[in-house]
Amino acid sequence: MGISSGFTRLHVVLRVYCTCPDKVLKITPYEVPEHIPMAGPLQTFVHVCHENGRWMSRLPEKLWDIPLYNLALPGSHDTMTYCLDKSSAVSGNESKLVKFLNKCLPCIVRPIIMKWSITQVLTVTEQLEAGVRYLDFRIAHKTNDPSMNLYFVHMVYTTVTVQDILWEILRWLETHPQEVVIIACRNFDGLTKRLHNHLVACIKDIFQCKLCPRNVVPTLRTMWHLGHQLIVSYEEEVELEKHCELWPPIPYWWGNKTSTRALIRYLERMKRMGRPGKFFVAGINLTENLRYILVHPFGSLKKMTLQSLPCLKIWIKQQYPGPKKKCINIIAGDFIGNNDFVKDVIELNTKINLPLHCQ
């Protein structure tokens, strides 16, 4: 989900314009208006709710024996974009046009790239502390880099390496022994077979027995008993066949839409088709194109996301976790420290009754 033919596949989260009419808006289920009222000026706060840092350990006991893929889990989309390197080369996976424009007009193109590439402002530790339990890792090896260093990427590379972040996650897990985290390793821009072997070896060496093998039914009670805290999804079939500690790719519902209504219709259509059997992600991400960026020359991903939060909140609160056809599992968003996104997703688990019920 990078750029193709210019800026045609940059990510944003739900677009909605901000108006402040006096009348009350009535919204029926799954009807999301393009215009939604927001009280006062645009909210730009970032809040880390430390009470969410241990939310799994505080779930009622009736939920301890439910597989994690039947619970509601908050996720962050493009987790590592908070540390993109402003001076980095453009990713080798981007189009020749983007590379050419960046080379010829860096003073104009580079600020645009940064405005539409950054999807998070909280560090990975802050995201985990805020309650996020699904991390979206886009991993890459820099073009012409002779070292084995791996980075994260979203148009440009990050300032930190993958190995440094894995150690950071381990430190957090060690202080939160009853929390479980899911990592989706994706994209693999520029990774050779040798680099894949290196990455998997790092994952296994760092996390060791904390890794949950894919033959385990991942309930909280089971994982607590076995000492497992990490599920690693890996989008490379060869490595999956060799390592039982790696889980298969997690389906990501990506709408590829430019309007909020179209995205919600897409997500509801996917729900009607039926949820996957295990982990999957409902991505609350719009995809703008070059025309959209030109029409909004002073816009940014952050502005669009903050304006979308009321609309996003409405859709989330209508969801139900569980195993049935229209239930959800992971919901991933941008700028997760804003508003009550994480809290709203966590609270969906209060709707679960035994036997599991999904309305």
* Residues known to be catalytic: 77, 154
42 phi/psi in degrees, rounded to 5: -60, 130
Residue 281 CA, distance from chain mean position: 8
**Tokens coding 183:** 């990592």
* CA gap 335, 285 in Å, rounded: 11
Of residues 157, 58, 79, 56, the one with CA closest to residue 337: 79
HSE (CB half, 13 Å, CA atoms) of 330?
30
Alpha-carbon torsion (108, 110, 114, 117), positive or negative = positive
192 phi/psi in degrees, rounded to 5: -90, 175
**Pairing outcome for strands 10-12 and 246-247:** unpaired
* CA gap 331, 72 in Å, rounded: 7
